[in-house]
Structure 1
Amino acid sequence: MTDETERTDLIAELAAARAALVAAADGLSDAQAGERPTASALCIGGLIKHVAAMEDNWLRFTVEGPAAMSYALPDGVTWADITSGTAREYPRWVIDHQNQFAMQPGETLAGVLAHYEDVAKRSEEIIAKIDLSTKHPLPDAPWNRPGTVWTARRAVLHVIAEIAQHAGHADILRETLDGKKSA
């Protein structure tokens, strides 16, 4: 397989995964996009926001390395404090991550989708240019094994898998909202 064929395949699979996710929002009102119709705290608009942020972070990682994904904690705060909910202070990235999963006041589904389209364009531009064999260590975080190194290719494959997983979640949410099933 040539490098150009691989890029084309990755971009096409990324677009297909995105389309499956975004289809779950087709025809929804802003209120419906923010509804949490299951026992989960997830909503369709929030899933799209989360996926856009995740895709943006991982594609920036392919270019910038671990600096694109800093998980720094305030002085005196531990990972145990964060995961137990007892931290005296939460870093901005934790708050932003939590807010990704919900439609915030003033947000619209159209705005969320437009932002995701912008992220998708940047991702495709990066994939078209980057050496897919470029390697970077994963950022320091408890969910990453120390010393693990990923190629740009691996990061893109991770993004595709993550989007596909969340598209499945969105399908369940949509079917619960109004009975609409994906094709």
Structure 2
Amino acid sequence: MTMNAPTPPRSADDAERTDLLAALATARAALIATTHGLDDEQAGETPTASALCLGGLIKHVASTEEGWMRFAVSGPSAMSHDLPEGVTWADLAAGTAPEIPQWMIDHGNEFRMLPGETLAGVVARYEQVAARTEETLAALPDLSAAHPLPEAPWHEQGATRSVRQVVLHVVAETAQHAGHADILRETIDGRTAT
């Protein structure tokens, strides 16, 4: 007779972590589904009044998820944005900065399919980011652990964000962009992901 070891009880954090990752997987799947059957050229099209394209949305969501997961582990230093000497956030917002920081250029390029990029490559990178997110969350023992947000005009002064809030933000961001992607796909060929 073989005795099976009892399954250890799951903690509340483990159950919540599973639920959060399931919600994120659902949002990711909705985003990726908008690209099924498209070629690289279609994935780079900007068929609406905005400059958004399907491949660019996936790049942006992958980069955003990656950045927030770094923040969950390392805190504000993982997301801080250096400004050029003598340039303020107000200068950047007004478009009067004499120099645009590289991170702003890189952020703008997240929304486009650049020459040489393929939809398959963009999706593969997103899948790698998703796998790292799951590994990161499995290694973080406390979903309530929090870090102060870095200084930036889009963050409330002195605010903090817990690991839980980070994942919820990534779920919301992914779902929001999946909705944008559905509109783009419908504009390209009349189809939607649903």
TM above 0.5, yes or no, is yes
Say which is worse superposed, 78-87 or 98-107, in terms of deviation.
78-87
Q: 1:28 aligns with which of 13, 38, 50?
A: 38
CA–CA separation in structure 1 for the residues paired with 2:117 and 2:13: 39
2:97 partner SS: coil
CA–CA separation in structure 1 for the residues paired with 2:132 and 2:15: 19
Structure 2 unaligned residues grouped into runs of 5+:
1-10
Deviation of the 1:81 alpha carbon? 2.1
Deviation of the 1:3 alpha carbon? 1.5
Name 1:3's counterpart in structure 2.
13
Count of matched residue positions in the alignment of Structure 1 and Structure 2: 183
CA–CA separation in structure 1 for the residues paired with 2:34 and 2:91: 36
Name 1:174's counterpart in structure 2.
185
2:75 partner SS: helix
Name 1:155's counterpart in structure 2.
166
1:40-91 Cα offsets, whole Å, 9 max, x none, are 1100000000000000000110000001101110011121221232321111
Structure-2-length-normalised TM-score: 0.92
Name 1:65's counterpart in structure 2.
75
The structure with more helix, counted as a fraction of residues? 1
> Does residue 1:164 correspond to 2:164, yes or no?
no
The runs of at least 4 aligned residues of structure 1 exceeding 4 Å deviation read none
Name 1:54's counterpart in structure 2.
64
CA–CA separation in structure 2 for the residues paired with 1:118 and 1:90: 30
Name 1:96's counterpart in structure 2.
106
Deviation of the 1:137 alpha carbon? 0.2
Higher-Rg structure is 2
- Percent identical pairs in the alignment equals 64
CA–CA separation in structure 2 for the residues paired with 1:163 and 1:178: 22
CA–CA separation in structure 1 for the residues paired with 2:31 and 2:66: 16
Name 2:5's counterpart in structure 1.
none
Question: Which amino acid counterpart does residue 56 of structure 1 have in structure 2?
Answer: E
Structure-1-length-normalised TM-score: 0.97
Question: Which amino acid counterpart does residue 178 of structure 2 have in structure 1?
Answer: A
Question: Which amino acid counterpart does residue 75 of structure 2 have in structure 1?
Answer: G
Question: Which amino acid counterpart does residue 177 of structure 1 have in structure 2?
Answer: I
1:79-126 Cα offsets, whole Å, 9 max, x none, are 122123232111111011000000001110011000000000000111
> Does residue 1:16 correspond to 2:26, yes or no?
yes
CA–CA separation in structure 1 for the residues paired with 2:182 and 2:94: 30
Deviation of the 1:182 alpha carbon? 2.2
CA–CA separation in structure 2 for the residues paired with 1:170 and 1:67: 31
What is the RMSD computed on CA atoms of the aligned residues? 1.0
Q: 1:145 aligns with which of 156, 173, 179?
A: 156
